[in-house]
């Protein structure tokens, strides 16, 4: 006769049967984990799994006759596996949003990537003059380039454009009033609000004009002995249309000179290139603002410029000198890796005939439909052999993103997918968890990839990721 299985232990007995942490660490299962992970992490995971098992026993959710070593160490490994991989990873962007803030904004040009690797591998002359052997300026690598490319007298770079605006206001407007049009009191992503930044800069906001119309006379009427700055804020992430008007920059610059005020402009997603040259609507360029007589212009490096995260300030030499002396500069200064990437990116702009092809953001924005159609066709061919996958092409719209060109939709080509036996949301989740991650969007219960933001080298990687995601989902293999 078969022997009846022993009844499970009572809760107190099960708790007494749980091994000590040290004994578990001496087991063969732990030895395998210790060969892959640091001892401190394995010990912490073992303690956590023991605590979870104790709670399960007390709640009546766990019941065993002998200590369940196999399932226990499976849970320990599950807790450790996420530590094997870096939290930040490469993402293939199939959303069609070129400057995608959540995905790190602008991808860098190859020379910028090379420059970062070169500087990161050892020491660098960050603040060392190689000619004299004396201390040098960390900004020397980029200020000359910025002046050449914008026509400004001087330049300065900090860690982002919000810091650039805050620094400029702190130096020039602190303790006084800053005049801003009501139509430009914007909030940019991450709760960056112009009124808040003015207040943090130690200035008092004075609103001028109306929501839809502001004239030069509105600024002049608001000037008092306490006024220090006229601040223009480019409406880079929205538009007011219809019955509107705004003063010409040259008019404001002339008003500032006549009344002894500094005129500053936050260009936000600033561009050095006239976007009309690549078939896009005109966006004010930094050079145009400087040529109009604006005293200080601030803009981002990691948006339409296509560089690393940085805030750039260009303008009058005497004002830049003041900014360099302010104690806040040290708190917001740019690091050596971003400086290296920015220098390499700016050098690409010295050759207008090649810059569009060399800077990924510009190349994606300028990509013509025939190129996108050909890329979509190649991706569809790579996907055609995957069992159970329905592939179709479609027309669509891409967007610049990054708070730039808010009204401009770019015609593009899409590849849409539906997998038999795998829900679209589940397919999208598995692709997000793939290495590298593949991010698209869902529309009409289909997974959608916009080829405008895909590189040619991404296409076979995407095909492999989709094939693996479907195969593992059908087999019931948990996503990594």
pLDDT at 114: 97
pLDDT exceeds 70 at position 427? yes
Q: What is the mean pLDDT of residues 456-474?
A: 94
Q: Which residue, of 292, 323, 358, is where some domain finishes? A: 358
Contacts of 440-447 with C-beta under 8 Å, sequence gap 24+, read 440/94, 440/95, 441/94, 441/95, 441/96, 443/416, 445/418, 446/392, 446/416, 446/417, 446/418, 447/416, 447/417, 447/418, 447/419
pLDDT at 392: 96
User: Quick one: 348 and 236 in the same domain?
Assistant: yes
Tell me the C-alpha distance between 185 and 221, whole Å. Answer: 19
Q: What is the mean pLDDT of residues 410-424?
A: 95
In tens, the pLDDT along 162-202 reads 999 999 999 999 899 999 998 888 776 666 788 888 888 88
Give the least confident one: 161-170, 189-198, 208-217, 440-449. Answer: 189-198
Determine the 3-state secondary structure of 409 from DSSP.
strand
Tell whether 2 is covered by a domain: no
CATH number of the domain at 375, please.
3.90.1150.180
Give the least confident one: 10-14, 247-251, 330-334. Answer: 10-14
Alpha-carbon separation of residue 374 from 161, 198, 393 (angstroms): 37, 49, 11
Tell me the C-alpha distance between 156 and 129, whole Å. Answer: 18
Report residue 327's pLDDT band, with 50, 70 and 90 as the boundaries. Answer: very high
Tell whether 6 is covered by a domain: no
Arithmetic mean of pLDDT over the chain:
91
Q: Both ends of the chain: CA-CA distance in Å? A: 45
Tell whether 324 is covered by a domain: yes
Q: Are 235 and 183 in contact (CB under 8 A)?
A: yes
pLDDT exceeds 60 at position 3? no
User: Quick one: 241 and 351 in the same domain?
Assistant: yes
Number of domains the chain contains: 3
SS percent in the chain: helix, strand, coil, step 5: 45, 20, 35
User: Quick one: 339 and 396 in the same domain?
Assistant: no
Q: How many CB atoms lie within 10 A of CB 405?
A: 24
In tens, the pLDDT along 265-322 reads 999 888 999 999 999 988 899 999 999 999 999 999 999 999 999 999 999 999 999 9
Tokens 């829900």 sit at which residue? Answer: 423
Structure tokens at 53: 């098992």
User: Quick one: 59 and 118 in the same domain?
Assistant: no
User: Quick one: 95 and 122 in the same domain?
Assistant: no
Tell whether 239 is covered by a domain: yes
Q: What is the mean pLDDT of residues 338-355?
A: 97
pTM as predicted:
0.87
Reading phi first (left if > 0) and then psi (alpha if -120 to 50, else beta), residue 445 is in left
User: Quick one: 69 and 45 in the same domain?
Assistant: yes
Closest C-alpha among 13, 124, 122 to residue 64: 13
pLDDT at 322: 96
In tens, the pLDDT along 81-95 reads 888 877 788 999 999
User: Quick one: 152 and 284 in the same domain?
Assistant: yes
In tens, the pLDDT along 236-246 reads 656 666 667 78
Structural domain span for residue 43: 11-81
CATH number of the domain at 290, please.
3.40.640.10
Determine the 3-state secondary structure of 450 from DSSP.
strand
pLDDT at 398: 95
> Would you state the torsion angle of the CA atoms of residues 149, 150, 153, 154, taken in this order, to the nearest 10 degrees?
-80
Pairwise pLDDT comparison (229 vs 474), residue with the higher score? 229
pLDDT at 1: 45
pLDDT at 395: 96
Share of residues in the chain with pLDDT > 70 (%)? 95
pLDDT exceeds 90 at position 432? yes
pLDDT at 189: 60
Distance of CA 66 to the CA centre of its chain: 51
Structure tokens at 313: 């300030």
pLDDT exceeds 60 at position 2? no
Alpha-carbon separation of residue 308 from 108, 302, 334, 347 (angstroms): 7, 5, 10, 14
Share of residues in the chain with pLDDT > 90 (%)? 72
Q: Which residue, of 327, 358, 389, is where some domain finishes? A: 358
Name the pairing type of β-strands 192-193 and 187-188. antiparallel
Q: What is the mean pLDDT of residues 203-226?
A: 91
pLDDT at 236: 62
Tell me the C-alpha distance between 260 and 53, whole Å. Answer: 73
Report residue 9's pLDDT band, with 50, 70 and 90 as the boundaries. Answer: low
User: Quick one: 219 and 259 in the same domain?
Assistant: yes
User: Quick one: 423 and 471 in the same domain?
Assistant: yes
DSSP secondary structure of 51-95: HHHHHHHHTT----SS--HHHHHHHHHHHHGGGGS-SS--EEE-S
pLDDT exceeds 50 at position 101? yes
Tell whether 37 is covered by a domain: yes
Tell whether 480 is covered by a domain: no
User: Quick one: 372 and 459 in the same domain?
Assistant: yes
Reading phi first (left if > 0) and then psi (alpha if -120 to 50, else beta), residue 202 is in left
pLDDT at 406: 72
Question: Count of alpha carbons within 13 Å of 52, Cβ hemisphere only?
Answer: 12
Closest C-alpha among 250, 366, 351, 249 to residue 304: 366
pLDDT at 240: 64
Q: Which residue, of 358, 384, 401, is where some domain finishes? A: 358
User: Quick one: 67 and 116 in the same domain?
Assistant: no
User: Quick one: 353 and 316 in the same domain?
Assistant: yes
The strand pairing partners of 447, in sequence order, are 417, 442
């Amino acid at each position: 006769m078969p022997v009846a299985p022993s009844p499970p232990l009572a809760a107190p007995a099960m708790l007494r049967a749980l091994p000590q942490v040290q004994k578990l660490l001496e087991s063969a299962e732990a030895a395998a984990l210790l060969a892959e992970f640091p001892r401190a992490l394995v010990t912490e995971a073992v303690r956590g799994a023991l605590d979870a098992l104790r709670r399960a026993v007390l709640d009546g959710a766990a019941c065993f006759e002998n200590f369940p070593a196999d399932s226990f160490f499976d849970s320990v490994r599950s807790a450790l596996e996420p530590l094997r991989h870096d939290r930040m990873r490469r993402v293939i962007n199939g959303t069609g949003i070129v400057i995608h803030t959540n995905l790190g904004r602008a991808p860098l040009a190859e020379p910028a990537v090379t420059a970062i690797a070169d500087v990161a591998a050892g020491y660098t002359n960050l603040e060392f003059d190689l000619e004299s052997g004396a201390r040098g300026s960390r900004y020397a690598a980029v200020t000359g380039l910025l002046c050449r490319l914008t026509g400004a007298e001087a330049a300065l770079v900090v860690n982002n454009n919000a810091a650039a605006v805050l620094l400029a206001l702190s130096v020039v407007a602190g303790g006084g009033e800053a005049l801003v049009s009501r139509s430009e009191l914007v909030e940019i992503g991450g709760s960056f609000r112009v009124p808040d930044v003015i207040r943090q800069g130690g200035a008092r906001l004075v609103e001028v004009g109306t929501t839809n119309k502001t004239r030069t006379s509105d600024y002049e009427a608001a000037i008092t002995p306490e006024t220090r700055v006229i601040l223009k804020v480019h409406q880079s992430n929205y538009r007011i249309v219809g019955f509107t008007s705004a003063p010409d920059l040259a008019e404001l610059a002339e008003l500032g000179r006549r009344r002894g005020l500094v005129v500053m402009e936050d260009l936000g997603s600033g561009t050095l290139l006239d976007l009309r040259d690549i078939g896009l609507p005109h966006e004010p360029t930094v050079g145009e603002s400087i040529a109009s007589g604006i005293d200080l212009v601030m803009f981002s490096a990691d948006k339409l410029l296509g560089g690393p995260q940085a805030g750039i300030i260009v303008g009058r030499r005497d004002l830049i000198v003041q900014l360099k002396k302010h104690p806040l500069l040290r708190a917001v200064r740019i690091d050596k890796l971003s400086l290296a990437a920015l220098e390499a990116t700016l050098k690409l702009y010295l050759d207008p005939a090649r810059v569009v092809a060399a800077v990924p953001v510009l190349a994606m924005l300028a990509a013509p439909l025939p190129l996108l159609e050909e890329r979509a066709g190649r991706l569809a061919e790579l996907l055609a052999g995957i069992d159970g996958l329905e592939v179709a092409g479609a027309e669509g719209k891409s967007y610049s993103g990054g708070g730039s060109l808010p009204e401009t939709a770019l015609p593009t080509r899409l590849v849409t997918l539906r997998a038999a036996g795998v829900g679209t949301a589940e397919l999208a989740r598995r692709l997000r968890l793939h290495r590298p991650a593949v991010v698209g969007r869902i529309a009409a219960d289909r997974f959608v990839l916009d080829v405008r933001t895909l590189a040619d080298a991404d296409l076979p990687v995407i095909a492999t990721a989709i094939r693996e995601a479907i195969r593992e989902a059908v087999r019931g293999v948990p996503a990594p």
